[in-house]
Structure formats: C-alpha cells, structure tokens
A and B are shown apart, each in its own frame.
Chain A
C-alpha cells in the first residue's frame, strides 16, 4: 500500500511577508537576552569609560525601538536560515524568490540601509534593495517552515577566521587560536562581542556552525559539559585581554562564547570563528 503524505501548503507571499517583517524587527528591537547581558556588563565593568559606552548601548536600544530607527546604521547582509518541514509544499511562487522578495520589501519599507554590492572585487555597485540574501536551508521533519533572520554587520563579520589545526594541537591549540584572533581583532568588531565558534566537520561546515552558534540565547551554555567548560574558559581568557567596550580598555571584551562541535575526519581539526558585535540581531517566525 502506498501512503501519500499530506502536504501542508504554505503560500510564497506569506513567506515574503514574514521575511520583510523579520528584517525590520531584527533591526529595530534588540533581543531581551542581549539587553540583559549589556545591563549586567554595565554593573560589572571596571573601566569608567567602558561603563559609559555600555550605558550608551542600552540607551541606543531604547531610542531605536521607540523611533523605529535601526540599532546600527549597518543593517547588515541579510542572512536567512530556513528550516523547511519535509511535509510542506510552497505554492504561488518559488521559495528562494519569496525570501529575496521579503528582504527587498523589508529593507525598503523599513528605511534600512542597503549594503549589498554586486560583483565583489571590481564593479561593487549597490544593488539598492539589499538583495541577494544569504540563505541556508535545512530540510527537517514536520509540516512547518521556520525562518530566522540574522542581519550581519560587516565590522564583526570581517574579523572571521578559519584554521585547520593539526589534531594533535587539540584543546590548547583551539584556545590559543581564538584568544589570539580576539586580541588581534581588538576594537574593530565592536566589543563587547559574542564569539561563535564552530569546531569539527569540514572547512565550510565549521564556518556554518560558527554562525549558527550565534543564534543561541546569550550565555546559555552548550549541553555537553566538556564543551560548556571550554566556553567558560575561553570567555574568561578573552575578558582578561583588557580590550574592553569599543576597545577603550576594560573588563568586558566578550559577552559570551558559544561553541558548536561536530564529528570530523581523522586527519582534521577545523576551527572557525564568527565574530558578532554587541548589536546581536536575530528574529524568527514559524509558518
């Protein structure tokens, strides 16, 4: 007997509409967990100038939301994560085109800055609606589509690093690499930062893990105690660097370190870092 699965229909225009809303909300409303982390840092920061900067960031979030102004003028590349249930059927249009349409609408309607340029090493002409988005799609069980919008600013993105360590370098090798990368990044990625770390898989797999690590609520440790311990040690080592808020010196260089790890090849130890500035923006919707 052949069972035909019942597919739930989801309209392309609803996807576009959801993406448009997410792009705007992500740029106007700082998530509660980020705001709470900034307020906590305001209490613990030892540098008076660092404290003043943290105060400005908390105040900035209030002004941005009240006036529907972007938290940061760099409204980012539109990074979109899609979780598509295998029992869904997109109707009335094509999935990726709907996401792209949503980004275009959201950035235009919300008076968000359009930062995407075409051919990246010569023409660099602004595409005028912040398209194309960077879309990562995963097929999952179920009959829903989950959309996460992560507008990613370039100041922090430009500090990203990937290294293929020798397996023998192990935990210590990872710590050395990460601490050095944060030290060299200094004030550029807009500290206090959130460090997304992807360990294992392959080169591109590690980088994607590093970006996904940024989606976790701030400071929620990895469920694996050994990885959670690594996160804790890295955070402490990074905050001992003294870089401080916006690099003026201080005890808050990072708000959190999020590590995601996956199995890898016998000969490999890929380690990818994705820096996230304090303006950590992401919003999600489920259709």
Chain B
C-alpha cells in the first residue's frame, strides 16, 4: 500500500481519513514523552498548571532517545512500549492530543477514548532507532531536562515512517493482522 503523507499538528479532516493498517510518512512537529514525563503532564493538568507545550492537535512520540554525539541532531530514537502510558493517555486525549506514536497494542479504555476524542495511534518499528533517527531533523528539549532520556523534546520530523494502528472508527491493526495470519489448531 502506498504511504500517505501527513503533517503534525493535526486537523480533524486528516484524522478522519486515516484507517488502521495505512502506512504513513509523517512530517512536522511532534513531542517526545514517556513514563515519567506523562506522570508530570497529568499532574500539571490536575493542578491546573501551565503545560510545557500546547497539547491541542499535537502528536506525542513515546521515545527516550540515546544521547546525540557531538554535531549530530539526536542519537537512536525508536518507539517504546505504549501500553505503559495507557493509564495517562485518556487524560491527555481529553486535553486535545490528537495522535500518538509508539509500539505495541493499547488498552480497550484507550481505544474507546480515542474514538470519543477523535485521535489516532501510530506504530513505528521498534528496535529500528538508528534508522528512524534519520527522519528527525531537529530536536530541542522543552521541559523536564532533569529526566535525562525522559525529558520532553520537540522534534521536527520529515517523512517519519509509521503505520496507523488504531483509528477513530474502532479498528485495530493487531487484531486485523492476527486474524489474517493465525493458523488455528484443533
């Protein structure tokens, strides 16, 4: 299937056109956040504090990159397991986050919340961090620097390869894929 070119932050129209299983090439601005940063973001929302970036329409990439060598933009930067963020995700979606990039499946609660708030979930290839780093053109730490690899970074990406795993219609790439290739044994 031909990859669809899309840009972050997202508008409603683009989100509506994405369906599970579609390969995409993502360009634009995205923000990294994983376990510890999620905990802080959700705490900040709870305390009604100012957030380090505007969540509305944005994409969160679950990654904790390796350090950049001198003169380079970033180190290796592939996705981490998304399921660990499931406990925080509904709150962020309700605050306007429109897309997430990670690896692995999401909880039923997250999938339902994605349908409710019209958000999508992409997967990128786990363990391909050196290759994926080539699509990252700029990286700037915007918050929580003390967290080291878990700090929030603003990334500028160019044709970052991913696949739609969950869309706003309730479809799930993992269920679809497994159904197609599973051989049942009696």
Contact = CB atoms under 8 A, between A and B. Distances in A.
B105 interface: yes
Interface stretch (A137-145, A183-191, A212-220, A260-268): A183-191
B47 to A, nearest CB: 20
A248 B180 CA distance: 10
Interface string B49-79: 0000000000000011111110000011110
A63 B181 CA distance: 31
B182 interface: yes
A247 B76 contact: no
Nearest to B65: A73
Contacts, number: 168
A154 to B, nearest CB: 8
Interface string A244-268: 1011111100000000000000000
Interface in A35-82: 46-49, 52-53, 56-57, 59-60, 63-64, 67-75
Contacts of A49: 1, 21, 23, 163, 177
Interface residues of A, number: 52
A188 B104 contact: yes
B177 A71 contact: no
Interface residues of B, number: 47
Contacts of A75: 66
B63 to A, nearest CB: 6
B125 A53 contact: yes
Nearest to B150: A126
A181 B64 CA distance: 27
Contacts of A155: 80-81, 103-104, 126
Given A70-B75, A113-B64, A241-B178, A246 B130 contact: no
Query: Most chain-A CB neighbours within 10 Å: which of B1, B131, B134, B147?
Result: B131
Nearest to B133: A69
Contact of A113 (B75, B104, B134, B185): B75
9 contacts: A57-B128, A71-B127, A72-B129, A73-B129, A113-B66, A113-B75, A188-B104, A247-B174, A247-B178
